[in-house]
């Protein structure tokens, strides 16, 4: 009987041991660098073959106590936060045990370097290496912080050290603007600083050459209507070089203070003058200096003196238009088609004779069918009229129902906007209606020489 017991007992013990296997060696991940007092987070996980809960023991490599953690589900990642008090290199290891206290082997060791680490050395500044004095240029720099902290940069502009800039994320590019006031060669470098005040070494330098350019005015100024109430100005760069800025000035009609229409680096500008007309000038900026050319551009209407236009059946010239380049009102004959491209309106009472009592400003395309005269067929212009309350009144947009092919003049004064067959706008003010014996109208006119622009303040 004793021999049976001795044989069976080792077998029972071996079976009991074989029924519980140890957890797997833990896998440890976390930062490899930090500074004293930083809270560093490490993750660990181990899987138990029987699915038992697992506890962990961290050895931090410093004077911290070594204790087993609580139990966690098999395979569950567990986070631990640890702060190292002093600088140095610390070796972290972890092992695991299951609920039956079977222990794993140690994890791979992880070494963490704890130091007072400043930002890394910035890259060589990137920017214009050949530039003009007084012109502002942008320079870029980047650095990486070992702990991924935000950093700020300071530039040495070749003798003048600038202020520290705004905080920038580690590895992100920072941009700084600078202008060199005097000609010369400058060695430009940058350094970085973190939130703890630790400063990197200076970057490798960028050599910048700044030269004086005298500067000059913009050339070839031009203006056109962008819409019927806005304008587009264009110009060419100065022959002296590329300006760093163009300032477009607008001097409104009537002597109001000049205003800045726009400031651009391109050679074009759109401006909405809010219903006003005026004169434009373009100033080219080189550094702190502005150069204004002699040329100006104007949207102020051209005013004609008193013009006499006869009634169609009368003895005088019944047509009227505004010939280029002066844009002054002029009367024309309509007995043939010599002036078919010049007449923008004519005067008529739409019947034989000139006795009125109402005269009309009429579209030239109506003239061949007008019983009051003998106008040959031709490519006479189609013109439209809109009666205004006064000569400074706003001109309605094309498409408004107030536009008609004629405007009645029963008694002076009468003011009418005119949209010509060439696409120009004008304002006509009839100052006298003379049915007998003169058989004519006397009028003043304001013509907008910018085609398509319906601004007629004067």
- Same structural domain for residues 253 and 267? yes
For residue 259, count CB atoms less than 10 angstroms from its CB and return exposed for 0-12, middle for 13-18, buried for 19 or more.
middle
- Same structural domain for residues 56 and 82? yes
b/e burial code for range 395-411 (CB count within 10 A of at least 16 → b): bbeeeeeebebbbebee
Q: Report the predicted TM-score, pTM, of the whole model to 2 decimal places.
A: 0.58
What pLDDT was estimated at residue 18? 58
- Same structural domain for residues 228 and 334? no
Domain range spanning residue 71? 20-114
Question: According to the 3-state scheme, what is the secondary structure of 7-32?
Answer: HHHHHHHHHHHHCCCCCCCCEEECCC
- Same structural domain for residues 420 and 310? yes
Classify residue 13: in a domain, yes or no. no
Classify residue 452: in a domain, yes or no. no
- Same structural domain for residues 294 and 316? no
- pLDDT, tens digit only, all 458 positions of the chain: 344 444 444 444 444 445 899 999 999 999 998 888 889 999 999 999 999 999 999 999 998 888 999 999 999 999 999 999 998 999 999 999 999 999 999 999 999 998 888 999 999 999 999 888 878 899 999 999 988 889 999 999 998 999 999 999 999 999 999 999 888 999 999 999 998 899 999 999 999 999 887 788 999 999 999 999 999 999 999 988 888 899 999 999 988 899 999 999 999 999 999 999 999 999 999 877 899 988 899 999 999 999 999 999 999 999 999 999 999 999 999 999 999 999 999 999 999 999 999 999 999 999 999 999 899 999 999 999 999 999 998 999 999 999 999 999 999 999 999 999 999 999 999 999 999 899 999 999 999 999 999 999 99
Separation CA 331–CA 345 (nearest Å): 10
Give the CATH number for residue 190.
2.60.40.10
b/e burial code for range 26-43 (CB count within 10 A of at least 16 → b): bebebeeebbeeeebebe
Separation CA 225–CA 448 (nearest Å): 11
Half-sphere exposure (Cβ direction) of 433: Cα atoms closer than 13 Å: 19
- Same structural domain for residues 255 and 281? yes
> In the structure encoding, which two tokens stand for residue 168, read together?
């920038």
Separation CA 244–CA 137 (nearest Å): 9
- Same structural domain for residues 160 and 187? yes
In whole angstroms, what separates CA 56 from the centre of its chain? 57
Classify residue 440: in a domain, yes or no. yes
């Amino acid at each position: 009987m004793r021999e049976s017991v001795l044989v069976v007992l080792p077998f029972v013990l071996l079976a009991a041991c074989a029924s519980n296997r140890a957890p797997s060696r833990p896998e440890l991940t976390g930062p490899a660098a930090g500074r004293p007092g930083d809270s560093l987070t490490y993750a660990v996980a181990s899987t138990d073959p029987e699915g038992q809960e697992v506890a962990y023991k961290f050895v931090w490599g410093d004077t911290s106590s070594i204790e087993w953690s609580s139990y966690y589900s098999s395979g569950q990642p567990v986070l631990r936060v640890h702060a190292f008090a002093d600088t140095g290199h610390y070796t972290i290891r972890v092992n695991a045990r299951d609920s039956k206290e079977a222990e794993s082997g140690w994890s791979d060791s992880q070494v963490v370097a704890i130091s007072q680490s400043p930002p890394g050395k910035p890259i060589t500044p990137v920017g214009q290496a050949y530039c003009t004095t007084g012109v502002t240029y942008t320079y870029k720099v980047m650095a990486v912080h070992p702990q991924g902290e935000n950093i700020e940069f300071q530039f040495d502009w070749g003798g003048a050290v600038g202020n520290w800039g705004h905080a920038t994320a580690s590895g992100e590019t920072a941009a700084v603007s600078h202008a060199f006031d005097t000609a010369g060669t400058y060695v430009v470098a940058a350094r970085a600083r973190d939130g703890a005040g630790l400063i990197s070494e200076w970057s490798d330098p960028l050599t910048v050459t700044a030269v004086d350019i005298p500067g000059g005015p913009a050339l070839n100024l031009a203006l056109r209507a962008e819409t019927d109430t806005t304008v587009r100005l264009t110009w060419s760069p100065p022959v002296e070089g590329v300006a760093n800025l163009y300032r477009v000035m607008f001097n409104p009609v009537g002597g109001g203070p000049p205003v800045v229409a726009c400031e651009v680096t391109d050679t074009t500008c759109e401006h909405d003058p809010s219903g006003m007309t005026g004169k434009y000038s373009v100033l080219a900026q080189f550094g702190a200096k502005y150069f204004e050319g002699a040329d100006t551009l104007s949207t102020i209407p051209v005013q004609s003196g008193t013009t006499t236009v006869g009634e169609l059946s009368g003895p005088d010239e019944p047509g009227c238009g505004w010939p280029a380049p002066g844009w002054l009102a002029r009367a024309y004959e309509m007995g043939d088609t010599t002036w078919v491209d010049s007449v923008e309106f004519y005067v008529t009472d739409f019947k034989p004779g000139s006795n009125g009592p109402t005269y009309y400003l009429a579209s030239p395309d109506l003239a061949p069918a007008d019983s009051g005269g003998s106008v040959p067929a031709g490519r006479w212009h189609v013109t439209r009229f809109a009666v205004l309350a006064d000569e400074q009144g706003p001109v309605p947009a094309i498409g408004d129902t107030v536009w008609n092919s004629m405007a009645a003049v029963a008694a002076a004064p009468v003011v009418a906007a005119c949209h010509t067959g060439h696409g120009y706008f004008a304002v006509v003010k009839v100052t006298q209606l003379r049915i007998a014996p003169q058989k004519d109208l006397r009028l003043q006119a304001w013509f907008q020489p910018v085609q398509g622009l319906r601004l007629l303040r004067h």
